[in-house]
Chains A and B, each alone.
Chain A
Amino acid sequence: METIDPTTLLPLHPLEFRILLVLLEGASHGYRIVRAIEERERGISRIYPANLYRRIRDLQQKGLVEESAPPRGAGVDARRTYVRVTSLGRRVARLEAERLEVLVMEAREHRLLAEGGR
């Protein structure tokens, strides 16, 4: 099996990274992902369906997410497709977070952010 170098997939699109972050908590479907992202961003951005599914499809093509069975306890809705993050997806998400952390640290050095928090 061909091994993919995770660093070649960086940087991630911000929405793709957001989707991965949501899926780290467990498998989910489209609308639940949308709601989770929007709640965390407190309405700063609005995610429309076509954009969301294009990003999910891209993540699938890169092997970062895959289709999944509904998690236990979730209501049965045969129409909904669940996706979950793959192990490659976890590695890429971690690398992306580290990349962003470096950027944040640099921003802090330039006093764009207060020490130790916002």
Chain B
Amino acid sequence: MELVFADRLAEAKGFIGRASVVVGGLLDVLVQAFWERRASASIAREVGVGMDRRTWNGGWMGVLWSDVRQAVRTLRRSPGFALVAVSTLALGIGATTAVFSVVNALLLRPLPYADASRLVAVWPSATSNKTMVHRVAESVTALKSVSGISIWTVTVTGDTAAPEEVEVALVSPNHFETLGATPVLGRSFTAEEGRIGTDGVIVLSDAYWRRRCGRRVAVQLLTESAVLALAGGGLGVGLAFGLLRLIVSRAPADLPDIASISVDATVLGFALGASLLSSFLFGLAPVLRARGATAADALRQGMRGGIGAPRHAVVSHLLVGAEIGLAVLLVVGAGLMVRTLGRMYAVDPGFHAGGVLAFRVSPPSFRYGDAPAIRSFYSQLRERLAAIPAIESVAGIQLLPVTNGNWSFPVFIDGNPVPEGGTAPSVNFRVTTPATSRRCASRCWRAERSSRVTRTARCASRSSTDPWRNSSSRVRSRSAGRSASSARRTRSSVLPATSISVRSIRSRVRRCTSLTIRSTGMCPCGS
């Protein structure tokens, strides 16, 4: 049989041809093995010997059951090997399944919208507004439907539940129509609800509806039972759950569709396939070896010389070599990743995070509707925090350093007008209280001082007064030209500093370095 296989392989042309021979041969062995076992059971049933009652009464399922029991008995005799093998499979399949879950959710699975491939996202470089959305809809006739979206976070308060910060999106009335999505319950927006004054309508997400409103809309199907029969695969899936939770918890928040990463039916199918493939591949070599020893007796044909020990040695060496190669690859890859992580952590961000506790506060706009109320809130907050003996200093900033997102404004330069249809360069800025400036921002600004654009930011930073005490501060771009009315407009920086950081001189808060609660209840800059 090996000779026929070798002849076929020698005649096959190209990689695909050879792969076809190998895969076809493997499948052939599997199919024929099944029929062999079935025929054996049939003979045993006729003769009534050689197999127990349960086996020859049960047809091919009985044969399978007999094989499983025999395998379990064999593994019991060498529990150490079984434990190592199952653990190895569980680790491999678990890790692979977890990674596949992420890849499947982020890359492979299409977006959960009708005709997702026809959806296009446009991110304007400058600040966008409703007029821009309308203009795009009118001018770009190739687009069937255009809707605008602006994502914010707000704090939801209530009499019973604790305040909760949730992500919201201000959208055009035709948003769901553009996405091709329909609500599970209720309705989406009407065109009239896009007008100011009649826009107090919201659509809740399914996850929020379940969590906050306590009703279950749909029943989730469980598809795990089919895979749990395989010990390695089952353990691997369990491990994948844990790994996945870890991956999701550590993933950047702006990863698309992060909430949908889960161990679903596709992933379980992958795990089952991986289990079966690995058991087949790793079981094949011993099967070939065992079969080679009895081939002459069993078939009395095929080969007289047998495949012999040297060929077994070659196969073993190839397997061991491949194993070592893969292990080295894994170790090198893991080492490089650890080194990269180490270097990332070693990057000097320009401030010392040790002993600093950062958190976000979000005063709801219906309770703190105007600037004096908000100032009063922050003033009290700062005084109370500063009164705690363990706290060394308190500072505020509208957006923490090294976090996702930026606030920016356009810069207009004298004698250098923005060309027609072009956009003015924009400047990212952060407004801080003096304490933050001393601890953090000064080094940040110093590092970027050579940048022309940053000079504007420095200017903005210097002119910013302490918002804790003053009723208002004025942040104005020094580069703003007289011809640029929008830049000349004075920005009312009532209180952009809504992230508070405190430094403790005691160890009890040293472990807490980043607890944040974001505030977007109000945009003091008026942007």
Contacts and interface: CB of A to CB of B under 8 A. Distances in A.
Interface of A: 29-31, 34, 46, 48-54, 56-57, 60, 67, 78-81, 83
A79 B299 CA distance: 14
Q: Is the interface of A mostly helix, strand, loop or mixed?
A: helix
Contact of A53 (B33, B301, B305): B301
Contacts of B33: 50
A60 B302 contact: no
B304 A53 contact: no
Given A30-B1, A34-B4, A54-B35, A81 B303 contact: yes
B17 interface: no
Contact of A67 (B1, B25, B36, B301): B301
Interface centre among A30, A49, A51, A56 (most CB of B within 10 A): A49
B304 A81 contact: yes
B3 A80 contact: yes
B378 to A, nearest CB: 78
Nearest to A83: B301
A8 to B, nearest CB: 15
Interface centre among A50, A56, A83 (most CB of B within 10 A): A50
Q: Is the interface of B mostly helix, strand, loop or mixed?
A: helix
Interface residues of B, number: 25
Contact of B1 (A46, A53, A78, A83): A53
Nearest to B296: A81
A81 B298 CA distance: 14
A112 B25 CA distance: 36
A54 to B, nearest CB: 5
A57 B301 CA distance: 8
Contacts of A29: 3
A49 B26 CA distance: 10
Nearest to B36: A54
17 contacts: A29-B3, A30-B301, A30-B302, A46-B24, A49-B1, A49-B28, A52-B1, A53-B1, A53-B301, A53-B302, A56-B299, A56-B301, A78-B305, A79-B3, A79-B303, A81-B300, A81-B303
A52 B4 CA distance: 10
Interface centre among A29, A51, A79 (most CB of B within 10 A): A79
B7 interface: yes
Contacts of B31: 50-51
Q: What are the nearest 5 A-B pairs in CB distance? A: A48-B28, A50-B32, A81-B301, A49-B4, A49-B1
Given A49-B1, A52-B4, A54-B35, A78 B301 contact: no
